[in-house]
Structure 1
Amino acid sequence: MSALVNVMNEETTLLRAGHVRQASTLTPDKARLAQDYVGFARSVQRQGDRLRAEAPTAVERLKLGHESLATQMAENLRVLATARTVTEDILTDVAKVVGQQNKAKTYGRAGTIAADPGSAARGIAINRSL
């Protein structure tokens, strides 16, 4: 559990600093540790009564660790959501600017700026899997 908290903390720190590529290298470890955690948590749930009777102190430490993990997970999700929003905003702004640059800037017969659809920007692709 502490390894998962540490990986999420490191990812959160990197994302806050704007190091998205470095943070993405932690994804395989984070996924593996999260999967292990879920498996262990299910085992603990199945043996909850026995564990509370035989090792109440350890169960209490486990609860505290889970609270720490939940806090770190919430913070990590907030930072991920912010990074995603910022990325989408930047890409949207770039797409708008690229589209504006390719518009014709001459006047047509009616005295308005004529738009030539053939020369307009075709757009850019945005990968929303972040």
Structure 2
Amino acid sequence: MTAAARLAAIDSLPATELCGRAETALAALVDVMNQETVLLRAGHLRQAGQLTPDKTRLAQDYVTLARAIQRQNQRLALEAPAALEHLRTGHDRLATQMAENLRVLATAKTVTEDVLTDVAKTVGQQDRAKTYGTAGRVAQDPNAAARGIAINRAL
């Protein structure tokens, strides 16, 4: 089945079924994001990272259905106004959960970077020569602080 055919099939769903599918996808996405937020707050970065494939799939499903709802908005407003309003409320919950999730992700990223930077500085200080140079000071190599340690800022 082509992408156009899949979109046409979604667009032709009965109003309550289309809204119901979108609501189900939305609830699952909010749930996964909440799980990820809880794991990140607890410092379980690897477990949170394992939720990424599910979160990505659910987000794609929801966006596909949300776009169908946008395309069919007039029809849905006539045929299922209560379901459409309930879906809008759910979308507001998603926005709130996404904001919280992004805040926690940014905090985790900052904490991770700070820890890695501190480790790099400590390792660099241990590798530094402990002899005096010609000026009577301990020689300091500014490049030694991060030797052998890389920080991935893609989180």
- TM-score normalised to structure 1 length: 0.92
- Could you tell me which residue of structure 1 aligns to residue 85 of structure 2? 60
Q: Distance in 1 between matches of 2:141 and 2:38?
A: 47
Question: How much is the aligned-residue C-alpha RMSD, in angstroms?
Answer: 1.9
Q: Distance in 2 between matches of 1:114 and 1:18?
A: 38
Q: Distance in 1 between matches of 2:87 and 2:41?
A: 29
1:72-111 matches, cutoff 5 A: 72-111=97-136
Q: Secondary structure at the match of 1:110?
A: coil
Deviation string, structure 1 residues 20-77 (Cα, Å, up to 9, x no partner): 0001010000000000011000000000011001110000100011001111111001
- Could you tell me which residue of structure 2 aligns to residue 17 of structure 1? 42
Please tell me whether residue 122 in structure 1 is matched to residue 147 in structure 2. yes
Q: Tell whether the 8 Å contact from 1:99 to 1:123 is kept in structure 2 after alignment.
A: no
Q: Distance in 1 between matches of 2:145 and 2:51?
A: 40
Between stretches 120-129 and 80-89, larger displacement belongs to: 120-129
Gaps of 5+ in 1: none
* Equivalent pairs, count: 130
Gaps of 5+ in 2: 1-25
Q: Tell whether the 8 Å contact from 1:106 to 1:113 is kept in structure 2 after alignment.
A: yes
- Could you tell me which residue of structure 1 aligns to residue 71 of structure 2? 46
Q: Secondary structure at the match of 1:51?
A: helix
Q: Percent same amino acid at aligned positions? A: 73
**Aligned AA (2:117):** T
Evaluate the alpha carbon distance shift between residue 121 and residue 42 of structure 1 in structure 2; reply closer, same or farther with a 3 A threshold: closer
Q: Secondary structure at the match of 2:34?
A: helix
Q: Which runs of 4+ in 1 moved over 2 A?
A: 114-117, 119-123
Q: Distance in 2 between matches of 1:116 and 1:66?
A: 54
Displacement after TM superposition at 1:9 (Å): 0.3
- TM-score normalised to structure 2 length: 0.78
Q: Distance in 1 between matches of 2:76 and 2:100?
A: 30
